Amino acid sequence: MTVAPRSDRSWELFEHGLLVFEDAGSPSGPTRILVSRLELCTALGCSCRDVGLRAVSFEVENRDLDRAGLTNEGLHSKFASGDAMNARVDIDLGLVEPDEYEGRVPLSEEWTKRLRSQIDGELLELLHERWLRAKGMTSSPNTDWVSRGIGELVGWDEAHPDDRQDLYLDGKTVVSADDLYCVKPACTCNEVRVHFVPTKRGAPPVGSVRVRLPSGAVIATESKPANAPALDRLWKAFRARHRVAELLERRQKKMSELARLRAEERPATQPITSGQRVGRNDLCPCGSGKKYKRCCAT
């Protein structure tokens, strides 16, 4: 087996459950590799939201594990040894913590630091899929969201309740990032709003960032002045975790398709209605910043 991470990341997750991280040394020297086996909870009633890693570290030439003598049998033996290291990954927060429960050997400080810098949104999504599969669950979209007016926004989490929450730790506060989309299939505003809200019940939102697609450029940030520094920190963390334009554009297309399916499912006797009267020269309720007549009214 040859480990060949993409040039823009230093990890690779294989179908048989091995997660490999690379820490490249000098161009002429061997590559340091951390090979980890996923350990997934299968208890349906368990509320855990993490994935265990049983890991071994070694050096290889040209990323070739077979040439290094690390066949499947060899890896199995290393994972079973007392020297194998252990860690846990929170699939919502993306946190990596060494695991020394019941005398386990914790992941080294050096590798823990390396993994913390490399865990991204793509890997968290893949780990969440494995977590669901281990529990015999699947992620299915929902079109039965609360009826809302023309142009109002729907969060990805609301339409995909089985997906992982995109959580961030800001100091001691856990904050959820929810990307919001216009649910009118014909809307051409090409804007997405990323809204940051603490998970603590009753806590006020931090603020939101309006993003233009497909470029991913920021149109505006919206928050109270006192919350501006926190919003800036959270937006930087969001950009560090995700390829923003790629993620939001992919999700926008899926949300538009769900909105179309929902419109087809709704009986003709229950049209979507607006809770407020919007004048043609008023700002559009979808948050695009355009006049209603130039946006969702068309």
The model's pTM: 0.81
| Owning domain of residue 244 | 153-277
Do residues 182 and 115 share a domain? no
Query: How many Å apart are CA 201 and CA 291, to the nearest integer?
Result: 34
Do residues 18 and 121 share a domain? yes
3-state secondary structure of 102: helix
Query: How many Å apart are CA 97 and CA 112, to the nearest integer?
Result: 7
The torsion defined by the Cα of 80, 127, 43 and 103, in degrees rounded to 10, comes to 40
pLDDT in tens, 197-243: 999 999 999 999 999 999 999 999 999 999 999 999 999 999 999 99
Query: How many Å apart are CA 114 and CA 161, to the nearest integer?
Result: 31
239 occurs within a structural domain = yes
Query: Which of the four pLDDT bands, split at 50, 70 and 90, describes residue 60?
Result: confident
Share of residues in the chain with pLDDT > 70 (%): 78
Q: Please say which residue of 69, 103, 134 terminates a domain.
A: 134
Q: Which residues of 252-274 are buried (b: 16+ CB within 10 A; e: fewer)?
A: beebbebbeebeeeeeeeeebee
Do residues 118 and 234 share a domain? no
* Short-list 134, 1, 110, CA closest to 55: 110
- Which helix (H) or strand (E) is 73 found in, with range? helix 72-80
Mean pLDDT of 150-173: 90
